Structures are given as structure tokens and as C-alpha cells.
Amino acid sequence: EHSIMEQNALKFKMTRAEFARWALLLNLGLAISAAGIHFFKTPNRFAMGGTSGISILLSTLFPRLDVGGAMFIVNGALVLLGLVFLGRRAMGVTIYSSFAISAFVTVLEKLAPMQRPFTDDTLLELLFAVILPAAGSAIVFNVGASTGGTDIVAMILAKFTSLEIGKALLASDFLIALAAGGLYGIKTGLYCVLGLLMKAFLVDSVIESLNLRKVVTVVSADPEAVKQFILEALNRSATVYTAKGAYTGKEEQVLTTVLTRRQTVALRNHLRRVDPKAFLTIVNSSEIVGKGFRTL
């Protein structure tokens, strides 16, 4: 019988190697998020929404409860709600993510307990408290999974209501930040609100950076040589079509391809050597779907 993670992988018909890479990235993202929670959020009491924010508040209200233990309780309750309202199939790998991130935080609490923040620079601590979980979440989202927690609430709301989910979750995060302000003081509350605003923009930016590719269009006097370089040296393909110049009226062959940053530099250097007068346009894109890139 397959585990939940394996079922999720099989659903998308992954090979063993693809599943291993997917599982590695998923756990790496969860571990990075857990590091941000343990090393920067918890000692500074940055309750910036989500299950980690609720857990930080609970660990203060109930001193015998650490953040990792509180996360197990909160995530466990949310998973139970998800199973009741969404079913096991719909929850998928979210069940694993919810408990794995709690486990990572608990392990870090045992191995490297934090009695106080690393530094006295609260703004610097806030930056890492935002950047690490945002980077971890971006890696997890990029492999088609989620970090669990309040994502389960979003899934339930999406199924049964017409609420704007993003706004509803942002409002709940602000309430948690306000609670932090009431419990730890206005200064901490303001830092939590600032962290929320930073987080709102950072996750999307990290995802776009991870997926960034270059859409390259080339008009060259020797299109066949350019095509061969793309196919053989870069191990990529291209679309070739005929176009007519508006000024010259001359028909030209145009090649369009999608490359990584490194491959784009290699193609540009190749053109500089073989056809310095070639016309080259490069456009950034983070949503390339198809063979050799992301699947639908």
C-alpha cells in the first residue's frame, strides 16, 4: 500500500527519480520554513499569522507547551477538519506537510533550543523571519504541494463559500498579528504587521525567480547555424517561422526558443562570434508549460 506522498506522486505518473526529486524538494522547503519559525519567529515572538503565529501565541499562554507541540495540535485539528469536509483524496500531500513541518520545528527545538534572538537588531531578525519561510513555502508551492495549516482552511472555504479566500486569510493573519501586539506589546505587533506585508509580496517573487526562463527570439543571416547551435550545443528546441521585414520587405527566418539564464548567455556569445549583426530579443517568463519544462 502506498504512502500519501507516493500516492500523490503516482497520481501525476512520476518516475522513481522524479518522485525522489519531488520528495527532496518538498522536505527541503518544509525544513527551511521550520528553520525560519524556530530560529527567528519564535524567539522574537513574531506571530505573523498562520499556524506558526497561533502556535507562538499558544506557547506563551501555556508555558509548558512549546511551539512545535502547539503546531502539532493546531495542524492536527486543521487536518481533521480537512478530512471531514474535503476527504482524504482532496487533502493529498497536505496531510504530510502539516505534520512534517511541525516535526521539523520540534526537532530543531530539541537540537538547538533558542533562549533569546540571535541579535539585538529586531529588523534584521524580522527579515530572516520572513525570508526563510517565504523561500521554503515557494519551494513547496513550486512542486505542487502546500505547507498545510491555514491552506486547509482556504480549501474548505473555497469549496463551501463564495468568499474571497486571499482576503479572508489575510484578515485572519492581521487578527493574529493584533493579538501578538496585545500580548507582547505594540512594538512587536507593528513588526508582525510589517512582516505580513513583506510576506505577501515575497512568496510570489521567490516562485517567479525559481521558474524564471528566457524567451529568446533571433533573426540571423545564418538561421541554420543558429538552429544547430540551439539543438546540439544547448540541447533545446526552437520554433522556426518565416516573417517579412516591414522596412526592407525581405523575408527572414525567425527562431524562438526558451532557455535558462546560462543558455541565453551562451547563445548571445555564440551570435556575437558568428553573426554580430543578428537581431536578438530576450523576454523574462516564469510560466513556461510544456515538454522539457513544467507540466500542466
Could you tell me which residues are beta bridge partners of residue 240? 255
Model pLDDT, residue 206: 64
Q: Which of 207, 184, 167 is nearest to 41 (CA)?
A: 184
Model pLDDT, residue 183: 93
CB atoms within 10 A of CB 102: 28
How far apart CA 179 and CA 186 sit, in angstroms, is: 10
Contact (CB, 8 A) for 40 and 121: no
Tell me the mean pLDDT in the region 205-226: 81
**What is the pTM assigned to this prediction?**
0.71
**Structure confidence at residue 13 as a pLDDT band (50, 70, 90):** low
Contacts of residue 9, Cβ cutoff 8 Å, sequence gap at least 6: 18, 19, 22, 23
**Structure confidence at residue 120 as a pLDDT band (50, 70, 90):** very high
Model pLDDT, residue 290: 59
Q: Which of 175, 189, 203 is nearest to 45 (CA)?
A: 189
**Residue 10 confidence (pLDDT) above 50:** no
Contact (CB, 8 A) for 30 and 147: yes
The better pLDDT of the pair 118, 173 is held by: 118
**Structure confidence at residue 165 as a pLDDT band (50, 70, 90):** low
Average pLDDT, the chain: 84
**Residue 66 confidence (pLDDT) above 90:** yes
User: Which range (31-40, 68-77, 134-143, 237-246) has the least confidence?
Assistant: 134-143
CB atoms within 10 A of CB 142: 16
Alpha helix ranges (H) inside 143-258: 150-160, 165-184, 186-211, 223-228
Angle between helices 150-160 and 67-85 (to 10 degrees): 20
Q: Which of 233, 221, 202 is nearest to 279 (CA)?
A: 221
Task: Quote the percentage of the chain above a pLDDT of 70.
Answer: 86
**Residue 91 confidence (pLDDT) above 90:** no
Tell me the mean pLDDT in the region 147-165: 76
- Reported as a single tens digit per residue, the pLDDT across 226-265 is 999 999 888 888 999 998 888 888 888 899 999 888 888 8
Contact (CB, 8 A) for 264 and 285: no
Task: Quote the percentage of the chain above a pLDDT of 90.
Answer: 40
How far apart CA 241 and CA 255 sit, in angstroms, is: 7
Model pLDDT, residue 210: 63
The distance in angstroms from the start CA to the end CA of the chain is: 27
How far apart CA 133 and CA 35 sit, in angstroms, is: 8
Cell 518538498 locates to 26
